[in-house]
């Protein structure tokens, strides 16, 4: 990096815009630390949208002439097409996206370009651009979460009747429906959508017109620019408008929680696709090989989704640290807000696309799932429940009876369903052979019909609810 810095700064620099009281240009290192263009050029569209709204408002309120406004708008559209075409002369010396766009506008339309910045500052400009950018990001993420949910619901529908082991402490606990397991992630994703929607709602206020920090003496119409940019209202306090970054922290928090949620299913995919579990496999599209071990199929994407919280929580922690203790109103520290946010959103979007892809791609192995579901005395609770229901015992006693029977079965090396009735009766004489009807993984799963339970009847009901909600 330091090698790239020329010894003296080039002459055409942003100081041409703010350098009236300066007699010398910035040092090259000053220019290097000050420039944000490599990062914030991603907000060029939002910057141009903000400038279009601002210039229209300035003309409508008579602050600038309609001829100047028309020239500005034409020029801005040309700047936009140059940027989209990839032949925009981005300049580090011009510091940031705002000054790059304005300098190019000046080159295209001349003098009227200088009127665009009336009643505005880069402080309210950058806050506006950033809110617009994050609003779009929230909308993209919402659509990606919905696609992920759709993939899960489709798999859940196919596998509503498929029994698998449910785990606690990663120890086999009770049989559950695979569809039920998958739908649990649909619920989580819905809460993630709620968090992004909340953040979007609170960030959708316009800082434009807060100017540097105190508002402006020009007779601007902030309602008009807010409306033009799709904001719900102008922000009511100009200091807050330029200083606040909690909107970005909120999106990052939602992103961090979402990434952590995704990492849990990602980890299960990794486990399920191992030889030890053998529950599922990913197709070639979602697997990679090893450069040394020819037999390997690695679920790299799932592992990377599992890892993504490292970067995304890092972004959240980084920006919290930047903002902490900053006095009002704007300080240049706040320029360090965009890199972590862009990185986190890029990472999260890739993670979401990957999870939607893998959720749809997974092929399950029914026999292995069913076999594992019946292992490790996963029907011991069903035996205890039977003792409560049929013999009228308190659950605590029934738990003890079932535990003693499991111990006997374990000693004989058989599952409960193959333990002779006489053995069970040696623990509890009142047990009769109706007990065997509750002793199977499938019976256990099907019996749990309480609302929110794992019985396929309930699972199919929930699949229908989600299909309706997601329109899939």
Closest contact distance (angstroms) between CB of 106 and ligand ARG is: 18
Residue closer to ligand ARG, measured from CB, 338 or 393: 338
Question: Cis (ω within 30 of 0) for the bond into 329?
Answer: yes
Residue 120 as a binder of ligand ARG (CB under 6 A): the answer is no
Cβ pair 106, 113 in contact under 8 A: yes
Shortest distance in whole angstroms from residue 347 CB to ligand ARG: 21
Measured from the CB atom, the residue of 126 and 258 that comes closer to ligand ARG is: 126
In whole angstroms, how close is the CB of 441 to ligand ARG at the nearest point?
58
Contact 367, 162 (CB under 8 A): no
Min separation Cβ 338 and ligand ARG, Å: 6
Catalytic residue among 23, 169, 291, 434: 169
Q: From CA 380, how far away is CA 391, in angstroms rounded?
A: 16
Residues of span 367-386 touching ligand ARG by CB under 6 A:
none
Of positions 9, 53, 126, 383, contacts ligand ARG by CB under 6 A: 126
Of the residues 13, 123, 162, 238, which one makes contact with ligand ARG according to CB under 6 A: 123
C-alpha span between 72 and 270 (Å, rounded): 55
Report the residue number, 214 or 421, with the smaller CB distance to ligand ARG.
214
Task: Kindly report the backbone phi and psi dihedral angles of residue 281, in degrees, each rounded to the nearest multiple of 5, phi listed first.
Answer: -145, 155
Residue whose CB is less far from ligand ARG, 124 or 385: 124
Based on the residue annotation, tell me whether 169 is a catalytic residue of this protein. yes
Nearer to ligand ARG, 122 or 448 (CB): 122
65, two tokens:
């002439």
Of 13, 14, 15, 36, the residue at the interface with ligand ARG (CB under 6 A) is: 36
Does an H or E element contain 119, and which? none
Assess 211 for contact with ligand ARG (CB under 6 A). Answer: no
100 binds ligand ARG (CB under 6 A): no
Smallest gap from Cβ 211 to ligand ARG, in A, equals 11
122 binds ligand ARG (CB under 6 A): yes
Options 27, 65, 81, 290, the catalytic residue: 290
Which residues does 440 contact at the CB level (< 8 Å), separation at least 6? 374, 379, 417
With binding defined as CB under 6 A, does residue 96 bind ligand ARG? yes
- Token pair of 468, please? 């309706």
Q: How many residues bind ligand ARG (CB under 6 A)?
A: 10
- Beta strand 163-168 pairing with 171-177: antiparallel
Position 31 contacts ligand ARG (CB under 6 A): no
Please identify, using beta-carbon distances, which residue of 80 and 338 lies nearer to ligand ARG. Answer: 338
Least gap, CB of 318 to ligand ARG (angstroms): 15
Q: Are 192 and 152 in contact (CB under 8 A)?
A: no
Eight-state DSSP code of residue 287: -
Instruction: Give the distance from CA 76 to its chain's centroid.
Output: 33
Q: What count of other Cβ atoms lies within 10 Å of the Cβ of residue 96?
A: 25
Sole residue written with tokens 């920090």: 213
Tell me how far, at minimum, the Cβ of 327 lies from ligand ARG, in Å.
14
Give 40 or 250: the residue with its C-beta nearer to ligand ARG.
40
Is residue 46 within the footprint of ligand ARG (CB under 6 A)? no
At 50, list the tokens: 């903000």
How would you label 428-456 residue by residue, b for 16+ Cβ within 10 Å and e otherwise?
beebeeebbebbbbbbbbbbbeeeeebbb
d(CA 116, CA 351): 40
Residue 181 appears among annotated catalytic residues: no
Which part of the chain contacts ligand ARG (CB under 6 A), choosing from 122-130, 137-145, 218-226, 408-416?
A: 122-130
With residue 366 as reference, give the H or E element that holds it.
helix 366-374
Window 327-346: residues binding ligand ARG (CB under 6 A)? 330, 332, 334-335
CA atoms of 456 and 94, how far apart (whole Å): 63
Residue 282 to residue 289: CA distance in whole angstroms: 12
Closest distance to ligand ARG from the beta carbon of 321 (Å): 17
Decide: residue 274, CB within 10 A, 0-12 exposed, 13-18 middle, 19+ buried: exposed
The distance of closest approach from Cβ of residue 249 to ligand ARG in the complex, given in angstroms and rounded to an integer, is 16
Q: Which of 128, 164, 138 is nearest to 40 (CA)?
A: 128
Q: Which is nearer to ligand ARG, 46 or 381 (CB)?
A: 46
Interacting span for ligand ARG (CB under 6 A) from 251-259, 289-297, 326-334, 363-371: 326-334
- Residues with catalytic roles: 169, 290
Residues that bind ligand ARG (CB under 6 A): 36, 40, 96, 122-123, 126, 330, 332, 334-335
């Amino acid at each position: 990096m330091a090698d790239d810095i020329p010894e003296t700064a080039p002459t055409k620099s942003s100081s041409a815009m703010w350098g009236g009281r300066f007699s010398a240009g910035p040092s090259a290192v000053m220019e290097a630390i000050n420039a944000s263009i490599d990062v914030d050029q991603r907000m060029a569209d939002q910057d141009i949208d903000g400038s279009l709204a601002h210039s229209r408002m300035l003309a409508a309120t008579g602050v600038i002439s309609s001829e100047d406004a028309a020239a500005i708008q034409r020029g801005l559209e040309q700047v936009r097409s140059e940027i989209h075409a990839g032949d925009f002369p981005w300049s580090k010396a011009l510091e940031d996206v705002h000054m790059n766009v304005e300098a190019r506008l000046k080159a295209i339309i001349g003098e009227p370009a200088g009127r665009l910045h009336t009643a505005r500052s880069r402080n309210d400009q950058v806050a506006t651009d950033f809110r617009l950018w994050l609003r779009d990001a929230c909308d993209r993420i919402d659509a990606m979460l919905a696609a992920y949910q759709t993939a899960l619901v489709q798999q859940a529908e196919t596998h509503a009747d498929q029994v698998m082991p449910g785990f606690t402490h990663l120890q086999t606990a009770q049989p559950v429906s695979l569809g039920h397991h998958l739908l649990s992630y649909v619920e989580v994703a819905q809460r993630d959508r709620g968090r992004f929607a909340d953040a979007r709602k609170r960030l959708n206020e316009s800082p434009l017109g807060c100017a540097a920090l105190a508002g402006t003496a020009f007779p601007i119409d902030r309602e008009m620019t807010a409306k033009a940019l799709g904001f719900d209202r102008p922000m009511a306090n100009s200091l807050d408008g330029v200083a606040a970054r909690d909107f970005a922290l909120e999106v990052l928090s939602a992103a961090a929680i979402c990434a952590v949620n995704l990492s849990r299913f990602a980890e299960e995919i990794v486990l399920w696709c191992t030889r030890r579990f053998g529950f599922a496999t990913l197709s070639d599209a979602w697997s990679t090989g090893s450069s040394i071990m020819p037999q390997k199929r690695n679920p790299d994407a799932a592992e990377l989704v599992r890892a993504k919280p490292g970067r995304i929580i890092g972004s959240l922690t980084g920006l919290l640290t930047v903002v902490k203790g900053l006095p009002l109103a704007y300080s240049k520290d706040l320029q360090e807000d965009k890199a972590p946010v862009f990185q986190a959103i890029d990472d999260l979007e890739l993670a979401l696309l990957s999870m939607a892809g893998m959720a749809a791609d997974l092929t399950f192995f029914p026999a292995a799932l069913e076999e594992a579901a019946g292992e490790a005395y996963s029907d011991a609770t069903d035996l205890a429940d039977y003792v409560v229901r049929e013999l009228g015992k308190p659950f605590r006693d029934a738990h003890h009876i079932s535990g003693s029977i499991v111990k006997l079965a374990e000693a004989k090396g058989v599952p409960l369903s193959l333990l002779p009735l006489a053995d069970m009766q040696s623990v509890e004489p009142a047990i009769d052979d109706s007990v065997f009807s509750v002793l199977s993984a499938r019976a256990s799963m099907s019996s749990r019909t309480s609302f929110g339970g794992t019985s396929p009847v309930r699972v199919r009901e929930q699949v229908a609810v989600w299909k309706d909600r997601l329109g899939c």
